[in-house]
Chain A
């Protein structure tokens, strides 16, 4: 079975004088049900990698296979479709729409996705229950705590059953106690079979992952190898 993500000598260079090499000839493979953490200081290329993985940006070199599909062959519409179907995003700033209820924010993820809209609300409610927010379904984000907002964002990322959950500093705006609960949620999701890639500079976050990859000056370096990889 093809890995969820396979990066082969991927490169991303931003034009300018001099050109900025945000990512240099990097290789990365994320298998199904992996939980990896990508760590690195600011400006190391973390965000560039996230955008490449999330199909929000195109590499200037190398190849990116997502679920066995060479993403370079896809046009913008197909890439948007891949984002909708296969990738769930969780952002540091949550990015919830303030004037929509929690369940409406979750349903937003399915607008650009194929499939019936009839059970959309049911699926959104199920996703909210899955992240432990069954009691705040019709609450507005302004009335939710930071941790609850991030749970709504996670529910939004989960609703379509993505191949990969991409989290960008998911605990960056949360206090340590709330962070812990979000990380616990990630652990639970991972245990349920989800593939996660978390980008962070926080050691507490990265330690929860099975595998840590350090990024520095656009170069990826594995820190911890997956111990029991063969067993899975």
Chain B
């Protein structure tokens, strides 16, 4: 029966291919869609921002300044750095707290310049020494302040490049002094760049120890953690407990989405749209097969009558036409899968992506095409089976 079905198809290859074209395109669209979605998803993971993937941030859940506005105690400790660096997977950690200067101006060594402005409002942050590594800062000149400065509450400051320029400070080898309101600070370093928390670039950064005694800060506002690649989810689940074992629920831990989640999201987005398109073209392909098979049934009434005369039952005739359209569909699935794979590879080569394709997709395409063909062939086959041999033989 299979041989009979394929013989009828191979007799007119051009027509067979045209008939199958719709299904070919449908299957190709589906395979290409699934492949491209997978490839694009893989690509996004490949390009996935290493900077973002290693960033974990902990802050008070109410988002209030100083953690006190909501009458909720801020459980963040000043020794956050020590607590977190003990966790396996944490590379660096540091606290960051914005300080309300209440409008105080900052200025450097007074120079009498009647034309130039010498006093500025510059934002100030207090930070633990680990913050500079946690935000991946680079120094332009000087040094970071260290735990010694922090523990002693030394009046030292690091300037962001923007702040340094406004204050007209470009060398720190003599530890130039700046004045913020009534306080005097010795500048020990100037930042060149940070990869996170860019608001540090325009700010004066002082040690937590000095800020606590000078401004009465009771708890850090934010804790920034630089984690090992791949540890973000783990640290995200541990950080709150490590920082506030009594009330971890008060803390909000911001972790990057897991790579798997990102990939699924991307695949989902791409898939949803194109699967619908692929499905539609498959439907159109099935209608095409049904249509041409129906025409061919009418055209081959003579053959059907002959086969009936030669002893074929109605079931034989129906089976033969079903087989024909199923073989046609399988063939279309095969060609379509090949085209789809070529599209995926071609697009990937063009974009210099790594093509990724689940192996089951090209394998499943021919059976899927056969099912499409089978469904499409159902009505024409029944039509063929209902042809009376008498009328069929007369017409031929």
Interface residues of A (CB under 8 A from B): 47, 51, 54, 56-57, 76-77, 80-85, 87, 89, 91, 93, 95, 97-100, 104, 108-109, 111-113, 156, 168
Q: Of residues 287 to 324 in B, which have CB atoms within 8 Å of A's CB atoms? A: 302-303, 305-316
Docked pose: A89 CA to B389 CA in angstroms: 12
Expressed in whole angstroms, the minimum distance between the Cβ of B310 and any Cβ of chain A is 5
Contacts of B313 in A (CB 8 A): 76-77, 80, 112
Inter-subunit contact B4/A111 (CB<8 Å): yes
CA distance A142 to B8 in the complex (A): 16
A84 and B311 form a contact (CB under 8 A): yes
Chain B nearest CB, measured from A105 CB (Å): 10
Chain B: CB-nearest residue to A95 = B306
**Across-interface contacts of B382 in A (CB, < 8 A):** none
Q: With A51-B390, A91-B396, A111-B4 as given contacts, are A99 and B310 in contact (CB-CB < 8 Å)?
A: no
Known: A56-B390, A91-B396. A112 touches B303 (CB 8 A): no
Q: List 10 A-B contacts (CB under 8 A).
A: A56-B389, A56-B390, A76-B314, A77-B315, A89-B306, A89-B309, A91-B393, A95-B303, A111-B310, A112-B307
Residues in chain B near residue A82, CB distance under 8 A:
311
- Range of interface residues on B (Cβ < 8 Å): 20 to 34
Contacts of A109 in B (CB 8 A): 310-311
User: Bound state CA distance, A69 and B314, in angstroms?
Assistant: 22
Indicate if the CB atoms of A100 and B390 lie closer than 8 Å.
no
Contact B390 A57 (CB under 8 A): yes
CA separation between A95 and B310, bound complex, in Å?
11
Q: Check if B302 sits within 8 Å of A95, measured CB to CB.
A: yes
Q: How far is the CA of A215 from the CA of B312 in the complex (A)?
A: 30
The answer to whether B306 touches A112, judged by C-beta atoms less than 8 angstroms apart, is: no
A-binding residues in B (CB < 8 A): 4, 7-8, 11-12, 302-303, 305-316, 389-390, 393-394, 396
16 other contacts beyond A54-B309, A112-B313, with CB at 8 A cut-off?
A: A51-B389, A56-B309, A57-B390, A76-B314, A77-B313, A83-B310, A83-B311, A84-B310, A87-B309, A91-B396, A93-B302, A93-B396, A95-B302, A95-B393, A95-B396, A108-B307
- Report the separation of the CA atoms of residues A84 and B310 in the bound assembly, to the nearest whole angstrom: 5
B311 contacts A81, C-beta separation under 8 Å = yes
Given A56-B389, A99-B11, are A80 and B396 also a contact pair (CB < 8 Å)? Answer: no
Question: What residues of chain B lie closer than 8 Å to A95, measured between beta carbons?
Answer: 302-303, 305-306, 393, 396
Looking at the complex, which one of B12, B315, B393 makes contact with A99 (CB distance below 8 Å)?
B12
Smallest Cβ-Cβ distance to B4: which chain A residue:
A111
Considering the chains assembled together, what is the distance between the CA atoms of A37 and B12 in angstroms?
Answer: 40
| B residues less than 8 Å from A87 (CB atoms) | 309
A47 touches B303 (CB 8 A): no
Q: How far is the CA of A112 from the CA of B316 in the complex (A)?
A: 8
State how many angstroms separate the Cβ of A63 from the closest Cβ of chain B: 21
Question: With A and B bound together, what is the CA distance between A50 and B315 in angstroms?
Answer: 23
* In the bound complex, CA of A197 to CA of B396 (Å): 21
Closest Cβ of chain B: how far from A206's Cβ, in Å?
A: 21
CB contacts (< 8 Å) of B7 on chain A: these are 99-100, 104
A104 to B314, CA, bound (A): 22
Given contacts A56-B390, A95-B302, A95-B305, contact A112 B312 (CB under 8 A): yes
